[in-house]
Amino acid sequence: MELKLERVEQRVGAEAYLYPLDLTLVPGAVTVLLGATQAGKTTLMRVMAGLDAPSKGKVLADGEDVTGRSVRERNVAMVYQQFINYPSMTVADNIGSPLRLRREKNVDARVRELAARLHIEPFLERLPAELSGGQQQRVALARALAKNAPLMLLDEPLVNLDYKLREELREELSQLFAHGGSTVVYATTEPTEALLLGGYTAVLDAGELLQYGPTAEVFHRPASIRVARAFSDPPMNLVAAQKSATGVTLPGGIALALAVPGADSPALTVGIRAGALRVQPREGDLVLPGKVELAEISGSDTFLHVETTIGELVAQLTGVHQFTLGEPVTLHLDPRQAYVFDATGALLRAPARE
């Protein structure tokens, strides 16, 4: 399905939940709606589904205007944050319900196939209440896949699961979507999920659609500081800078020999992703001495907060590293990995992709 939104906006009284936006989803692909809480993701998804009519604008499905049609009149599959299943029906009957509604043949075989793909075969005769949260969400996903709808909407489906279950399902979802023919819309607050699912990403912030395109392109070339903030975890380090005759000057007179085209104002912002900072030196690096403010271990990474000559920076170091608070440490950066934004926050320069 090609889903197209034309100048869609959503208001309740004087409050704007969605500002006017145009968006055409790539048919048969995964589109991630990425943004913080209250960015407008759920509001936009409800308009796409037909749960809510937009205040203004049109929703087109394969060229047909479906703006006024309710969700019951559309062939849409939805998976929510909550584990929504039919409580009095077994897992097998939950998964098979869309198939039976369509009077399909070989329902039991299809149910077992979907259960095998989602690793819930042993639980087919159980009731949802007898399952863990992760197992219940797998049932909801299997039922959505069984519906085989041209449009599948998933509203932060993993947010209520624990870390280990989220990691397991994230890896499986991209494979599940790849084998289906649906146009998939997946809402999340986590950049990691967007990168893992691939496809396309629409970045939302405070009800505005900031950028839409292939996920890798949006990540590597964020159109603005707002996009970069939404698509960086931990957040991108932002440093006030000035345009100079030789490139860019950071606080303390530190020079970066970077070509910056099209800057109308001398005021610039340099963006540095946490993963681009290292404690091991390489030839040609920018050297940033400082002291440790905080060291956090998260999973297999260490997040190091360092007060440097250009301000506090956060470095994401692979592996587990031990640091003492207040100890001197030097961060290193390949200048070519720096982003540069103009005075309005628009992107002027992004690192070249290798």
The total number of structural domains in the chain stands at: 2
The bridge status of strand 200-205 relative to strand 30-34 is: parallel
Asked if residue 234 has a cis previous peptide bond (ω within 30° of 0), the answer is: yes
Q: Are 201 and 294 contained in the same domain?
A: no
Q: Are 241 and 211 contained in the same domain?
A: no
Q: Are 13 and 87 contained in the same domain?
A: yes
Give me the CATH number covering residue 52.
3.40.50.300
CA distance 353 to 337: 10
Q: Are 321 and 285 contained in the same domain?
A: yes
Among residues 201, 223, 245, which one ends one of the domains? 223
Tokens linked to 275 = 């993963």
Confidence of residue 117 (pLDDT cuts 50, 70, 90): confident
Going edge to edge, which strands form the sheet with 64-65?
Answer: 15-24, 3-12, 56-61, 64-65
* Run of H or E including 99: helix 91-101
Q: Are 212 and 323 contained in the same domain?
A: no
Residue 332 falls inside a structural domain: yes
Q: What are phi and psi of 89, to 5 degrees?
A: -105, 145
Residue 334 falls inside a structural domain: yes
Question: Residue 262 pLDDT more than 90?
Answer: no
Residue 354 falls inside a structural domain: no
Are 139 and 91 a contacting pair, CB within 8 Å?
yes
Q: Show the domain range for 167.
A: 3-223
Tokens linked to 246 = 């030789």
Give me the CATH number covering residue 304.
2.40.50.140
Provide the 3-class DSSP secondary structure of residue 16.
strand
Provide the 3-class DSSP secondary structure of residue 40.
coil
Q: Are 266 and 209 contained in the same domain?
A: no
Q: Are 265 and 218 contained in the same domain?
A: no
Provide the 3-class DSSP secondary structure of residue 133.
helix
Position with higher pLDDT, 147 vs 200: 200
Tokens linked to 1 = 């399905």
pLDDT at 145: 86
Q: Are 19 and 121 contained in the same domain?
A: yes
Residue 207 falls inside a structural domain: yes
Among residues 223, 246, 278, which one ends one of the domains? 223
Cα dihedral across residues 299, 42, 86, 181: positive or negative: negative
Cα dihedral across residues 174, 38, 304, 217: positive or negative: positive
Among residues 190, 223, 256, which one ends one of the domains? 223
pLDDT, tens digit, for every residue of 5-16? 999 999 999 999
Q: Are 173 and 59 contained in the same domain?
A: yes
pLDDT, tens digit, for every residue of 59-101? 999 999 999 898 888 889 988 877 678 889 999 999 999 899 8
CA distance 19 to 26: 21
pLDDT, tens digit, for every residue of 339-349? 999 999 999 99
Residue 228 falls inside a structural domain: no
Give the CA angle between residues 99, 105, 111 to the nearest 5°: 50
Provide the 3-class DSSP secondary structure of residue 122.
helix
Q: Which of 211-220, 245-254, 326-335 has the lowest mean pLDDT?
A: 245-254
Residue 17 falls inside a structural domain: yes
Q: What are phi and psi of 266, to 5 degrees?
A: -70, -20
Distances (CA, A) of 145 to 26, 139, 215: 19, 10, 23
pLDDT at 299: 81
Confidence of residue 354 (pLDDT cuts 50, 70, 90): low
Q: Are 196 and 273 contained in the same domain?
A: no
Residue 213 falls inside a structural domain: yes
CA distance 268 to 340: 7
Q: Are 268 and 165 contained in the same domain?
A: no
Tokens linked to 91 = 């897992």
Residue 232 falls inside a structural domain: no
Distances (CA, A) of 166 to 23, 234, 280: 29, 18, 32
Tokens linked to 217 = 């392109």
Question: Residue 53 pLDDT more than 80?
Answer: yes
pLDDT (average), residues 158-174: 77
Tokens linked to 204 = 């939302």
Of 154, 144, 177, 185, the closest CA to residue 25 belongs to 185
Q: Are 185 and 248 contained in the same domain?
A: no
